A and B are shown apart, each in its own frame.
Chain A
Amino acid sequence: MATDSGVVNTQENLWEGGKSPFKASYGKLMMWYFLLSDAFTFAGFLIAYGALRFSSDIWPTPDFVFSTAPFGIEKAPLIFVTFMTFVLIASSVTMVRAVQEGQQENKKGVVFWLFMTIIGGLVFLGSQAWEWTNLIATEGVTVTTNPFSRHTEAGTYVSGEELLASGFVEVPVVHEAEAHGVAEHDTHADAGHGETTAPAVYYLPQGAADIPENRYFVKADHHGEIKAGESFEKGDNYLITYNHHTHLYETAAYKTADGRIAKEAFGPKTFGALFFFITGFHGFHVFSGVLFLLIIAINAMSGLYVERRNGYEMVEKVGLYWHFVDLVWVFVFLVFYLL
């Protein structure tokens, strides 16, 4: 206050413009407020995820869902997504370096570190593409179908003989491909998968209609290995096997403690929709960030920002955006993969 008393006259001059009370340029300030609004968008999505997850007690846990990695690695919970997180952290640090070199008006340094950041962004996007492909094509998660769930009761998976003994009827699976006369197509596609020809049958309760809701399968994993006889506890995670030959979700039959035959049910529907929508929205931010970085790197190479003599402020602004993408990932990682 004491310092203000001597400058009564400048009060009027404030209306003339040219003074920035926040000591930041218009562009930078507006980037901050854009990011603030974007933070609310992401927060809305993540809170929606939390609310829906809280409403369900069969929500699959992340250490079960995200336990595969490229090169055939299985049962490695959270390892691949930790790698993705490191990539994004590293690209955030290279971005910091680009901004610092910009403040030194070092064109070569800016361009080098911008391209390092772009590489980081591309590696992250590639990893995410693999993750999505694995979830959709191998495990069969879609926006409306979620084969991941948790058992609501303890039980033991049963074999085909046991099902027949309990009055079930065996039904051979009719290959859609065979019916259309293109039988060889499928075996060709899965040849490299090492999958044995799984017994393509399912079981129906006596007199029940042949609709998916009535089909009982013998538990087998994606490699066709039979899991009949394995027991599980209430609350254990499971994945309904998606058979790549028959294109059927094999809802496996099990016997409960009181001798009743039941079968696996699909998990909470919203899981896939939320996962693809939220990580997709984040991935789209990474993608657009890579585009902005490319444009700015090319501009920097052309010497455009040398002319401006403002310490490469454009690099600083895209840097804010890029750090925000990393910041959002901190919370996506927490909410989707850790909790």
Chain B
Amino acid sequence: MGHLSYEESKKLAVKGLGILAVVTLVEVFIALLGNGHLIEGFRLSHWVMYPVMILLSLYKAYFIVYNFMHLGFEVKGLRLSVLLPVTLLIWGIIAFLQDGYTWGKRRHDLTKQKTEVVKQTTPPSQEH
């Protein structure tokens, strides 16, 4: 607090409005462009779209937390006590998304097995 003068902080608020609005517009633009809504027949790979959109959202989050919530102006100890626990989420995201992916694969295997069973049992029943 108080690291910026009143005039400077007023400017930061207006700048924040601009930055957040423009970054959001860019995100939506990428989503629409990548999913083929803007140019007929043109699509972007998810491997290009998703990292860009995730990074832009992380930038928005950083901007809000550091400037609007003033975390960037707080004492280092306070900053770390809030930010370090958040890093636990990195493993949470990796672990649970991997889990979901594995469920998906098993679901595939199950439906495959089911159709194989059906195929095996249908011919004899038709003879009756």
Contacts and interface: CB of A to CB of B under 8 A. Distances in A.
Interface stretch (A81-89, A212-220, A284-292, A299-307): A81-89
Given A100-B10, A331-B57, A86 B24 contact: yes
Main secondary structure of the interface of A (DSSP, over half): helix
A48 B96 contact: yes
A86 B21 CA distance: 7
Contacts of A62: 31
Contacts of B13: 93, 96-97, 100
Interface in B1-33: 1-2, 6, 9-10, 12-14, 16-17, 20-21, 24-25, 27-28, 31-32
A97 B20 CA distance: 16
B114 interface: no
A55 interface: yes
B48 interface: no
A324 B78 contact: no
Contacts of B61: 327, 330-331
A338 B69 CA distance: 25
Contact of B100 (A40, A50, A95, A326): A50
Interface in A21-41: 21-24, 29, 32-33, 36, 39-40
A92 interface: yes
A289 to B, nearest CB: 14
B6 A104 contact: yes
A103 B9 CA distance: 11
B40 to A, nearest CB: 14
Contact of B57 (A22, A33, A95, A334): A334
Given A100-B13, A323-B69, A51 B78 contact: no
B104 A55 contact: yes
Contacts of A97: 10, 13
A337 B35 CA distance: 12
Sorting the interface of chain B by its residue count into under 10, 10 to 19, 20 to 34 or 35 or more gives 35 or more
A100 B6 contact: yes
B53 A24 contact: no
B82 A77 contact: no
B86 A82 contact: no
A82 to B, nearest CB: 5
A61 B35 CA distance: 10
Given A22-B78, A323-B68, A330-B61, A55 B53 contact: no
B35 A29 contact: no
Contacts of A183: none
A10 interface: no
B104 A54 contact: yes
Nearest to B77: A22
Contacts of B85: 36, 40
Interface in B39-94: 50, 53-54, 57, 60-61, 64-65, 68-69, 74-75, 77-78, 81-82, 85-86, 89, 92-93
Give the 5 A-B CB pairs with smallest separation, nearest first: A51-B100, A54-B100, A55-B103, A22-B78, A55-B104
18 contacts: A22-B77, A32-B82, A47-B89, A47-B92, A50-B100, A54-B97, A54-B101, A55-B101, A55-B103, A55-B107, A63-B31, A63-B35, A96-B9, A100-B10, A319-B68, A326-B64, A330-B64, A338-B57
Interface of B: 1-2, 6, 9-10, 12-14, 16-17, 20-21, 24-25, 27-28, 31-32, 35, 37, 50, 53-54, 57, 60-61, 64-65, 68-69, 74-75, 77-78, 81-82, 85-86, 89, 92-93, 96-97, 99-104, 107-108
